[in-house]
Amino acid sequence: MTTTVITGIAELTTNTDLGTLHDAALVIDGEHIAWVGPASSAPAADTHHDAGGRAALPGWVDSHTHLVFAGDRTAEFAARMAGKPYTAGGIATTVTATRAATDAELAAVLRRHVAEALAQGTTCMETKTGYGLTTADELRSARIAAAEVDEVTFLGAHLVPPGADPDAYVALVISEMLPAVAPHVRWADVFCETGAFDADQSRAVLTAAASHGLGLRVHGNQLGPGPGVAIAVETGAASVDHCTYLSKSDVDALAGSTTVATLLPACDLSTRHPLPDARTLLDAGASVALASNCNPGSSYTTSMAYCVATAVLQMRMSVEEAVRAATLTAAQSLRRTDVGWLGVGARADIHVLDAPSITHLAYRPGVPLTRSVWRRGRSTTS
Ligand code: NIG
C-alpha cells in the first residue's frame, strides 16, 4: 500500500482530542490516516505533498441531498424571488420529469452533482429517492443512487402524488415500496409537514421502515411548526432535518435525545424562510449538523462552504461549530464513525483550503477556497 505524507499544514482541524494543530502533518496509508502530528516529527512516506502553509480539515459530509432527479425548476425559483411563496407542490414537477428520464440520464445528473460537490471538498454524501413515487421509480432511483454515493435514503413518503388518495398512498409505501426498496438503502425518511404527511402517516411509515431494519430520518418543521421533531425523537430517528420552526419543547426533546438536528440554511434562504435558531439548539445541548439539501426545487446548491459561511454570518455559530456541524456531526447524523474527523484509522478524506485557517470560510464567503481534496486516500485534484 502506498503511503503519502502531507506537510506544511498551517492549521489542521482534526475533530479529535488532538483539537486543532498548527504546523502539522499527516500520513495517509492506503485509504486511511496512519499518523497525525507536528510537521517536525512527521515520518517518511512513499510520496510527499506540501500543503504550503494552508489549512486542512476533514472533507465535508453532506448528509442531506435529493440528487436523483431530472428537469429544471428555474421558473419556479424566479417566481419565488418575485414574491410567490415556496410550496412543496413543486416536487410534483420534478416527479414528472424524473419518471420520464432514462436510467442513464438520471445517473448522469447525479454524477455531475457528485463531481461538483467533490470539487468543493464534499467527500461523503447522502442522497434520497423521492422523485419517483411509484414502486418501480423509487426502486430505480435507489439503485442509481447506490452506485454513486455513500448513503442512500428511501423517501417514498415525500409527497402524495397528485390525484392519489393519501391513506392509500401511505399503504402503498408501506406494503409495496418499502419491501422492494429496503434491500438497496440504509435509511428511510418521511416529509412530515402540512401538505405532505401528517403525524399518524409519518409514524406509520417510520415504524414500517424500522421493521425492515432501516435507520430513520425525518423532514420536519420546515415550513411551519409541526410534529416532525417530536416524532423523530420518539421513533429514535438519527436525524431530523430542516428544524426551521421549533418550539421550546422541540428544542428540549432534541437536547435530550440522540437525534441530530440537521439545519439546511441554503434551503431557508432559497425559500425565503427564516434561518433556523442554531444558537438556541447548541446552547441547549442538541447536536447540530449542517447540510446542503441540494435539490432542484428548494435549495439548488452543492456548496457546503456556503452553508458554513451562512451559519457563521447569520446563525450565530462559531466557525469551529459550523465546520464541526458540516463534518463530524453530519457523520454522526449518518451514524458513521469513519468520516468527519482526521485521526489514526479515519478514512483519508482531506480537504485543503486555499487559506491559512478555517476562519476564511466565513471571512471570504463566496470565494472558492478548495485547494485540494483526497477521498479514500486518493487525491482527486492532481
Ligand atoms: O428538503 N421538503 C421536502 N423536500 C425537499 C424539497 C424538494 C423540492 O422542492 O423538490 C426539501 O426541501
Note whether 190 and 206 are within 8 A (CB).
yes
Torsion angles phi and psi, residue 264, rounded to 5: -130, 70
168 and 53 in a common domain:
no
Check pocket membership of 273 for ligand 1, CB cut-off 6 A.
Answer: no
The domain that holds 127 is classified in CATH as 3.20.20.140
355 and 299 in a common domain:
no
95 and 31 in a common domain:
no
76 and 216 in a common domain:
yes
The domain that holds 368 is classified in CATH as 2.30.40.10
What's the rounded Cα separation, in Å, for the pair 244 and 234?
A: 19
Q: What is the pLDDT of residues 177-197, one digit of tens each?
A: 999 999 999 999 999 999 999
C-alpha cell at 54: 494552508
- Give ipTM to 2 decimals: 0.98
332 annotated as belonging to a binding site for a ligand:
no
205 and 329 in a common domain:
yes
| Mean pLDDT computed over 366-376 | 98
Distance 62 CA to ligand 1 centre (A): 15
Check pocket membership of 191 for ligand 1, CB cut-off 6 A.
Answer: yes
Note whether 198 and 228 are within 8 A (CB).
no
| Closest C-alpha to ligand 1, atom 12 | 298
Q: What is the pLDDT of residues 18-34, one digit of tens each?
A: 999 999 999 999 999 99
- Please state at what angle helix 135-146 crosses helix 103-118, rounded to 10 degrees: 40
In the beta sheet, which residues pair with residue 350?
58, 374
- Polymer length of the chain: 382
C-alpha cell at 298: 428548494
Burial class for 165, CB neighbours closer than 10 Å (0-12, 13-18, 19+) = exposed
State the residue range of the domain holding 35.
Answer: 3-58+340-379
Closest atom, ligand 1, to C-alpha of 131: 10
Distance 151 CA to ligand 1 centre (A): 18
Beta carbons within 8 Å of 163's beta carbon, 6+ residues apart? none
Q: What is the pLDDT of residues 186-227, one digit of tens each?
A: 999 999 999 999 999 999 999 999 999 999 999 999 999 999
227 and 150 in a common domain:
yes
Count of C-beta atoms within a 10 Å radius of residue 377 = 20
Structural domain count, the chain:
2
- pLDDT value of residue 382: 61
113 and 21 in a common domain:
no
297 annotated as belonging to a binding site for a ligand:
yes
Note whether 4 and 27 are within 8 A (CB).
yes
Note whether 190 and 205 are within 8 A (CB).
yes
| Mean pLDDT computed over 161-174 | 97
What's the rounded Cα separation, in Å, for the pair 84 and 78?
A: 9
219 and 132 in a common domain:
yes
287 and 201 in a common domain:
yes
